[in-house]
Structure 1
Amino acid sequence: MTSDDPTIINQEPATPVRVRRGTPQTFYDLTLDELTEKLGESGHPAYRARQLYHWAYQQLAPDYDTMTVLPKALRDDLANELPLTQLEPVQEIQTDDGETLKLLFRTHDGNHIETVLMFYPDRVTVCVSCQIGCAVGCSFCATGMMGLTRNLSTGEMVGQVVAAARRTQELDRQLTNIVMMGMGEPFQNYDSTMRMARILNDPEGMKFGARRITVSTSGLVPFIDRLAADPLQVKLAISLHAPTDQQRDTLVPLNRRWNVQELISACRRYVDTTGRRISFEYCLIRDVNDSEKTARELARLLKGLLCHVNIIPLNPTPAEPSYERPTEDQIKRFADIVDDSGIPTSVRYSRGVDIAAACGQLRIEHEGGTEPATT
């Protein structure tokens, strides 16, 4: 059997990626109902599926042999027919005095994906990838250099979270937040991304609160409306990066399909429908989108919208060597203008810059591409 993934046959960033099946199915691909049905076909009672879910998602068992409450014959059958995961750990690097941990995995077809764990005093956040590469092509993003290879399956995304939760547990901490801000555009892989969220939210499994899961998009407007109608109350983040079409057309090419006004209109519909706040991500680039005039334009654009702005000073990448990080004074001035205009604003500094933890950079380095930039 295969899962809900792989080979890309459409590189157009404005539409969801169409795929043909091919990634081997794993335990992490299955909802509890699907697992119950699968076991029932082999004559196993429904409670075995709940036991498996408990061991996999609450005990974070690394393999079936660890699930000693289950009959050995069942464990052996599952190990042969339904592996927990196809992700193979390749590399682990830590920085920021242990506050950032970068995990590199190899997929079943020899590609590499990245997952980043970020440790804060009051929370632990995992940044999850949803695609191998990306078709959106943001000019400042290392992943955009790669192009798009394929979507990740639900199981490959769930597998990243479980591996991160297990690693966090080993460090005597607990995973508290999931952000879909790694490699790829989640709304190009919408169904698998939301399926991942539902599996992790299952009360028989990890019981991960939907409002602790944030899905980010560069602006696929129809899927903002679709998310607004979805009963699963995950959070929404928008990779905005510019308040005008002239700027955003260059930074985020997807803007040529859905412009800034269309995007913000969809965001207002989302807030009206859900009552939930939106986070706007804004990568601040020196002499590109960091002027006082641009800050005032951003504040006007978002006026009256229930939102929060995260200012992210550029993490230099090989994607565009001419892009530079603003000075601390420039960063503070920009953030203060937006915040003083009544838009809640904070500065979020990139974690793991010295280990190339920005989206896609470690993969480029590992596969022999351009040397990642550091600061």
Structure 2
Amino acid sequence: MSSTAELRGTAAPLEKTPLETYVPPAKPSLIGLSRAELAERLGEIGVPPRQQKMRVQQLWHWIYFRGARSFDEMTSVSKETRTGLAERFTVDRPEVVAEQISNDGTRKWLLRLPSGDALQKAHEVECVYIPETDRGTLCVSSQVGCTLNCAFCHTGTQRLVRNLTAGEIVGQVMVARDRLNDWADRETPHGNRLVTNVVMMGMGEPLYNFDAVRDALLIVSDNEGIGISRRRITLSTSGVVPNIARAGEEIGAMLAISLHAVRDELRNELVPLNRKYPIAELLQACRDYPGASNARRITFEYVMLKGVNDSLDDAKLLVKLLKGIPAKINLIPFNPWPGSRYECSDWEQIEKFSEYVFNAGYSSPVRTPRGRDILAACGQLKSETEKLSARERQALRAMAMTD
């Protein structure tokens, strides 16, 4: 294992510039549009204003409550309206290119995004479903690639291609419900849903795609559609301080902070964004987060890196820094990926770190690694599918299409 000093090297750039902008397909999907935007689309096909509110409610129900995949399924909508919609629009979600299932039941989907630019490559993102005894958590991506360059994160080694649209973000939730047969009438031993929680912890930095993430999460949490409570939606950020307050005010989801270090010098290396928004500024934004309380604690994510950030001195400073913030500390054993220069802390050291934090009065669960064998664990979402041969990708795609 290299020393911390040896790992520093040349400072990584703070942020990447998107390589492309989104070009909608000739027939765009209605997924991701607000009610007001749906009314505008209905007006475009000749639905009179006096009918638009009723038709919007019908569309909302069919798209987000029943998961309709075509306008033909929407039997309560007039045939004339369905025909007009089908001529101009779709209700398509991202295409499942490959599905991998871990030994522990975790599922990872490689999703292809449609584009209206024939010269652009069809881009792909990953989405992960983690089943547990009392919940099912969906890890959703917000960008193709990532704006940031966090040193321990596989996704951070990719280019930033572009931001996802609200429809592409909501579409990931809908794909999961499609694949799991998790729509309107689903019944399970633990309730009527398999996807109960959403975490914006996939590819990308959500707060650098604020508007689309906000619009998508407002749809996901809408009680007349997908209906996942905002208390079951967590937005994770590496510390885009100006948008943290906006997230509390305009989204109202639970907040998670990718902290990973307690000293600016080290966090500058692990999370280069820290050079723009240092720890003190970030933690003040957390203290000011709208709605934060003991009932709505902020989660601080802390990846355990052997010999880098896992000493008891680090644990003591962590407790000191978080004083006065309603917080939970989520300790994450580092998930290795090809070419990584870090190692996971020894389990004994993780336990010592966790015990100190717990004894100081903070919940400090150690996140059980899930989906490591398919590179679906935290920080691993730069899929091995990028490296698969055409034949292997074709085989995975065939498996994905078999329900």
The normalised TM-score by structure 1 is 0.88
What is the letter of the counterpart of residue 127 of structure 2? T
Question: Which one has the bigger strand percentage?
Answer: 1
Query: 1:31 maps to what in 2?
Result: 34
Match among 87, 110, 124 for residue 136 of structure 2: 124
Summarize deviations over 1:110-144 as a string: whole Å, max 9, x none.
11100001111111110000000012110111111
Percent of residue pairs bearing the same amino acid type: 43
Larger of the two Rg values belongs to structure: 2
Using the TM superposition, give the Cα deviation of residue 149 of structure 1 relative to its aligned residue in structure 2, in angstroms: 0.6
Paired residue secondary structure (1:347): coil
How far apart are the structure 1 equivalents of 2:345 and 2:253? 32
The secondary structure found in structure 1 opposite 2:96 is strand
Unaligned runs of 5+ in 1: 1-10, 370-375
Contact 1:95 1:354 in 2 (8 A): yes
The answer to whether residue 100 in structure 2 is matched with residue 88 in structure 1 is no
TM-score, normalised on structure 2?
Answer: 0.82
Q: Could you tell me which of 101, 107, 120 is aligned with 1:101?
A: 107
Mapping 1:1-375, distance limit 5 Å:
13=14, 20=21, 22-24=23-25, 25-44=28-47, 45-46=51-52, 47-98=54-105, 100-109=106-115, 110-169=122-181, 172=188, 173-230=193-250, 232-270=251-289, 274-275=292-293, 276-318=296-338, 320=340, 322-358=341-377, 361=380, 363-368=382-387
RMSD of aligned residue pairs (Cα, Å): 2.5
Structure 1 residues 76 and 362, CA gap change in structure 2 (3 angstroms): farther
Offset, 1:360: 7.1
Q: Deviations over 1:182-233 (max 9, x none)?
A: 0000000011100001122233322222222111100011111222333x42
Q: Any idea what SS the aligned residue of 2:216 has? A: helix
CA contact (8 A) 1:16 1:188 kept: no
CA distance in 2, matches of 1:21, 1:104: 19
Q: Which has the higher contact order (CA 8 A, sep 6+)?
A: 2
SS of the equivalent of 1:27 reads coil
Alpha-carbon displacement from aligned partner over 1:1-57 (angstroms, at most 9, x marks no partner) = xxxxxxxxxx97569979855234421121122112321343332222211111111
User: Match for 1:235: what amino acid?
Assistant: M
**Aligned AA for 2:202?**
G
Superposed CA offset, 1:248-301 (max 9, x none) = 111100001111111111111116x64442111111111111111111111111
Q: Distance in 1 between matches of 2:123 and 2:98?
A: 13
* CA distance in 1: counterparts of 2:22 and 2:130, whole angstroms: 33
Q: 2-side partners of 1:124 and 1:80: how far apart?
A: 37
User: What SS does the aligned partner of 2:209 have?
Assistant: helix
Tell me the equivalent position of 1:7. Answer: none
Task: Give secondary structure in 2 for the equivalent of 1:238.
Answer: strand
Q: How many residues align?
A: 356
Which 5+ residue runs of structure 2 have no aligned equivalent? 1-11, 116-121, 389-403
Q: Point out 4+ residue stretches in structure 1 off by more than 4 angstroms.
A: 11-21, 170-173, 359-363
